[in-house]
Amino acid sequence: MSNRMESPASYLRHYPGLAAAVGACAPVQKHANLLERLRREPALEMAQLATTRGGMWLHRRKVFGADGTLVADDHEAWLAQEVARDGGSVAETCSRLDAGGYRLSQCQITTLYFVAPGLTGEPSDFLQVEVDVEDEILDRELLAGRTWRVPTTLEALQREADQGLQLPEAERVPVRPRNYRLRRVVDVEDWLKVADSLEDVRREAFRERRYKVTSSGTQEGTIQTPDELWPGWDRFAAKHRRFFLDWHRSSASPYRLCEHWVLQLTDWTDPSGRREMDMVPMWAFNRPLAKVNASKGGDYEFYGALQKLDRRIGVPFGWYFYMLHGNRVESDTGERVIRAAEAGTIVMPECDYRVLKDWQTSSYGF
């Protein structure tokens, strides 16, 4: 299910008229017309489609009558109106709606990730354009009171209304033409800078903490700082930044990261006012990729499988980044490569070995 959140404007690029222009494009296979339109914008001249991700849908559903006419654009708002119409009696509303033969739509979403590299060559210097392809179809019956436990509150009715029987395949037809919707254009380096500033605040707050340390033989203790208790705890950057630093330090450096990875970026503020930003890298390789098992074969054979993966995705040391996220390279792969390199059974570039040793010192992943 899609869970969109409003993002602050500091790291978003704004292009007047682009949202309307994207919405006016007719979806076609491979999205060539959309790409051509994006490339007319400043800094998007080199945009390319990196990958797609599906399996999401809008929470909002449209309501249709038994004869196929559109009743409402938002099922939750409509249900609230219907309950109010019945004087607040949810039971009466359920009884009435059950006899109406109402149906709900589902707006299925496939997100297109376009990337446009900058001029510096830095791994994080790119714009990420996210465009949703919306396919809205008749999906299922509206479920009101036809359950073993009739809803007693509006909230329960709204929560359970989309749990009705799915329609037969022949009846799951589009309710409107498929369309594009521009979600946002993110300046990735600017996003990282904002996330860095939040991390700096968190680390400074942690650094100011004091801990009372006592021994088992006495009640007296000493007051110590995090730097005294855990020397080097802040040696490495936060993982959202470290991912890019590791790319820059490794054999992957000559290759554009944005041609091989896109980013799931979130930014939210909890009820207490605490802001959180999170990043999950998603690979852009769009063909089947064999899994590498870290427990099979001798060192030479095992490392050969990793190099084969690198050749297939087109990036040296690419297996390391697949180890950080995904299910193609197991997390214990790094330890085995280090052991094999130090035993002399495999040979790897010194820069990649250094990245691995730092990962061994302070491992991370997504």
- Answer yes or no: do 252 and 348 share one domain: yes
- Decide if 108 is inside a domain: yes
- Decide if 213 is inside a domain: no
- Answer yes or no: do 20 and 129 share one domain: yes
H helix or E strand, kind and range, residue 53: strand 48-57
- What's the number of domains the chain is made of? 2
- Decide if 204 is inside a domain: no
Q: Are 147 and 108 in contact (CB under 8 A)?
A: no
Q: What is the 3-state secondary structure (H, E, C) of 193-228?
A: HHHHHHHHHHHHHHHCCCEEEECCCCCCEEEECHHH
- Answer yes or no: do 121 and 25 share one domain: yes
pLDDT at 63 over 50: yes
Q: Model-level pTM?
A: 0.89
pLDDT at 30 over 60: yes
* Domain boundary pick from 130, 157, 187: 187
Percent pLDDT > 90 in the chain is 85
- Answer yes or no: do 142 and 262 share one domain: no
| Both tokens assigned to 124 | 């994080």
Number of residues that this document lists for the chain: 366
The Cα–Cα gap between 279 and 241 comes to: 9
**pLDDT class of 6 with cuts at 50, 70, 90:** very low
* Domain boundary pick from 153, 187, 221: 187
- Decide if 255 is inside a domain: yes
- Decide if 223 is inside a domain: no
- Decide if 200 is inside a domain: no
Q: Which residue range forms the structural domain that includes residue 341? A: 234-361
- Decide if 62 is inside a domain: yes
* Domain boundary pick from 187, 211, 243: 187
**pLDDT class of 148 with cuts at 50, 70, 90:** low
